Structure 1
């Protein structure tokens, strides 16, 4: 029940926060905004070993909950006055013509993002556990998770710059291919170095994919941000539900992470492949934002 509530709350926060600020941020500023997730992972990777020294895992969860509460209250305090006047400052973007091409692009984008959710969560769930089976290096699990955060914090800024040159479609495709490689490397090359490389690639891509997807959808439907982000988050969440169920069954069945992680890599790769194929057949002439 607590996991359900926390997952529901995180989805609500993501949808509301994204819809509040996406119209007010440049692409570079959006990269900084989504990089906050990587900073949070880094904070978790550093704080969990310290909290674990004070007691059992129950105390660790209490400590993380307290940190989240303090950060949440701080954000609420800093934003409470500005939010009163935010509506008047929001510039309305012209509505895109609701062509079948726009809807078709959104469908393929949603499918790809759902596949990303399925593949991403398997890695996010089992990366730390798998790292422990690879090496006896002290704290390799914590170190790999810290590396995810280090790579994730600045990654969205870099992806936003790359998207301005390549376009969101090809940047999103490339980031998903890179993530699939990062998921597979630790399994195919059984070493500590491979774990760290995989953790870095995973951290460098997972929030970038989210930022690019949300930004892409905002370009398609500039006046329906909250609704469209909610739709994308729903399919992403469905992937997050299905992924651990399948992966847990595979791991318990053969006692190995190989099939689960390779399967996750292939799922993300599938999303990367179908995205440009599906969008490529849409009406490009009427949708100049697609490249």
Structure 2
């Protein structure tokens, strides 16, 4: 092995560690704030006497906050600096999680979910831009791999949630409160690796656009449409799949295993497959492939006989694809936009993603309250993912300008 190749490997290893530190952002933003709710929904639904529409409305409130947070992320990064915006928004996300444990009031909980959505969106978008800048000037494949390392934070957060929340729920009637409390404490601990990662990335220099031009937005139009449909489809599944599995008779240990397997599949696939593949696929092929795989991941719990086999197969396939969506979106923004537009581009794409995430759980919840139950709501998820895959294929490749 030559000295040059050794130096390159050392450089990649150090850059990967920086991306892993930044990955504390998606650990909290999605792993804890967004997806842990799927485990906490059944006891909250039962003990607080919610309808499925109200339960879905909690994630809709979170997604509405996410929309506003994503829309303002470029502003806060420009005003406060990327590192400060990332760390402060992450800290406030932890406060929102802690506060969720302190109340049973639906209006207050909706407000906290909204606030948590706002702060986590800023953290996620700015963290994505920081991850994109770790290796400025590097080949696309290295940048895509580092973005993928950043996105593994979601799977890591899902695994932690799958281990911690079921243990909290076993503590008694107030178990859902304990679950939110533990998520908040862990979010505060996550500030340490987040700070270490953020301080290693230089602040952006030069003029950085707060918005994109009309032409740049039009060029990425199919990707925006894909992200709306993908967000609506995948989050409907993530919101209600645990409730479905419980209604099919699976116990707490099985649903916890499902969540852990889903998270592990996400981490492994993001690093071993998507981190390499997304950087190679052009135009809308990567988003289309992601949506198609996630669609296949929904089908086992809908078509196969209820039981552990269907649940775990769904966890592996769905988990292997769902966080490749944000990876693909971030890489497309980096590839097709000038560096000055990366934060704004990622922010606008995240807004599109959040619009889908706001609408999906509410519609799925309304359908689940009717005849056919939760399975009917999850068929909506499957249909939206098919539409997302077809829409992504319309995207054409453009040079950064």
Bin the TM-score by the shorter chain: 0.7 to 0.9
Separation in structure 2 between the aligned mates of residue 256 and residue 99 of structure 1, nearest angstrom: 43
Equivalence for 2:127: 17
SS of 1:148's partner is helix
Equivalence for 1:151: 265
Equivalence for 1:194: 310
Equivalence for 2:330: 214
SS of 1:210's partner is helix
1:43 paired residue among 160, 163, 187: 160
Q: Are residues 57 and 238 of structure 1, via their aligned partners in 2, closer, same or farther at CA, if it must alter by over 3 Å?
A: same
Equivalence for 1:170: 285
Paired residues of 2:231 and 2:354 also in contact (CA < 8 A): yes
Separation in structure 2 between the aligned mates of residue 288 and residue 62 of structure 1, nearest angstrom: 46
* Pairing 1:182–2:297 present: yes
Separation in structure 2 between the aligned mates of residue 162 and residue 274 of structure 1, nearest angstrom: 20
* Pairing 1:116–2:252 present: no
Paired residues of 2:337 and 2:399 also in contact (CA < 8 A): no
Aligned length: 275
Paired residues of 1:128 and 1:142 also in contact (CA < 8 A): no
C-alpha displacement of 1:105: 3.5
Equivalence for 1:8: 118
1:125 paired residue among 227, 239, 248: 239
* Pairing 1:57–2:176 present: yes
Q: List 4+ stretches of structure 1 deviating above 6 A.
A: 90-93
* Pairing 1:256–2:373 present: yes
Equivalence for 2:352: 235
Q: Give deviations 1:53-97, integer Å, cap 9, x for gaps.
A: 344211111111111111124422x246435xx137x7999xxxx
Equivalence for 1:70: 189
Q: Give deviations 1:12-63, integer Å, cap 9, x for gaps.
A: 1111101122032422222111111101110110111222334421111111
* Pairing 1:82–2:200 present: yes
Separation in structure 1 between the aligned mates of residue 346 and residue 270 of structure 2, nearest angstrom: 18
When normalised by structure 2's length, the TM-score is 0.64
C-alpha displacement of 1:190: 2.7
Equivalence for 1:225: 342
When normalised by structure 1's length, the TM-score is 0.86
After superposition, the CA RMSD in angstroms is: 2.5
Paired residues of 1:108 and 1:279 also in contact (CA < 8 A): yes
Q: Are residues 134 and 48 of structure 1, via their aligned partners in 2, closer, same or farther at CA, if it must alter by over 3 Å?
A: same
C-alpha displacement of 1:138: 5.2
SS of 2:373's partner is coil
2:395 paired residue among 272, 279, 291: 279
Paired residues of 1:35 and 1:155 also in contact (CA < 8 A): no
Paired residues of 1:45 and 1:143 also in contact (CA < 8 A): yes
C-alpha displacement of 1:210: 0.9
The structure with higher relative contact order (CA 8 Å, sep 6+) is 1
Separation in structure 2 between the aligned mates of residue 92 and residue 155 of structure 1, nearest angstrom: 36
Unaligned runs of 5+ in 1: none
Paired residues of 2:261 and 2:315 also in contact (CA < 8 A): yes
Separation in structure 2 between the aligned mates of residue 132 and residue 177 of structure 1, nearest angstrom: 26
Q: Are residues 92 and 30 of structure 1, via their aligned partners in 2, closer, same or farther at CA, if it must alter by over 3 Å?
A: farther
